[in-house]
Amino acid sequence: MTPAAPRHISVLGREAVEMLAPHDGGIYLDATFGAGGYSRAILDIAGTRVIGIDRDRSAITGGFDLVDRSGGRLTLVEDRFSNLDAICAAQGVAAVDGVVMDVGVSSMQLDQAARGFSFRLGGPLDMRMGHDGPTAADVVAKASEAELANIIYIFGEEKYSRAVARAIVAARKEAPITTTKALADIVSKVVHAKPNEIHPATRTFQGLRIFVNGELDELHLALAAAERVLRPGGRLVVVSFHSLEDRIVKDFFNARGKTGGGSRHLPEMAQTAPSFQILTKRPVTPGEAEVAANPRARSAKLRAGERTAAPAHAAGELPAWPVLSDVMRGG
Q: How far apart are CA 37 and CA 32, in angstroms?
A: 10
- Chain-centroid distance of CA 178 in Å reads 25
CATH of domain 118-213: 1.10.150.170
Instruction: List the one residue out of 51, 91, 57, 58 whose CA is nearest residue 74.
Output: 51
Give the 3-state secondary structure of 154-215.
Answer: HHHCCCCHHHHHHHHHHHHHHCCCCEHHHHHHHHHCCCCCCCCCCCCCHHHHHHHHHHHHCH
Per-residue pLDDT of the chain (331 residues; tens, 9 = 90+): 444 434 456 889 999 999 999 999 999 999 999 999 999 999 999 999 999 999 999 899 999 999 999 999 999 999 999 999 999 999 999 999 999 999 975 555 455 555 545 666 678 999 898 888 999 999 999 999 999 999 999 999 999 999 999 999 999 999 999 999 999 999 999 998 887 788 899 999 999 999 999 999 999 999 999 999 999 999 999 999 989 999 999 999 999 998 655 455 545 445 689 999 999 999 999 999 998 888 878 889 999 999 999 999 988 889 999 999 999 988 5
Options 1.10.150.530, 3.20.20.30, 3.40.50.150, 3.40.50.2300; CATH for 13-102+216-307 is: 3.40.50.150
Query: What is the per-residue pLDDT for 181?
Result: 92
Which amino acid, 176? P
The answer to whether 13-102+216-307 and 118-213 have equal CATH topology is no
Measured distance between the N- and C-terminal CA atoms of the chain, rounded to whole angstroms: 52
Query: What is the per-residue pLDDT for 11?
Result: 87
User: Would the CA dihedral through 167, 168, 173, 176 be positive or negative?
Assistant: positive
User: Would the CA dihedral through 66, 70, 74, 75 be positive or negative?
Assistant: positive
Residue-range domain boundaries for the chain: 13-102+216-307, 118-213
DSSP tag of 124: B
Q: How far apart are CA 32 and CA 192, in angstroms?
A: 34
The reported pTM is 0.90
Strands 301-307, 276-278: pairing kind: antiparallel
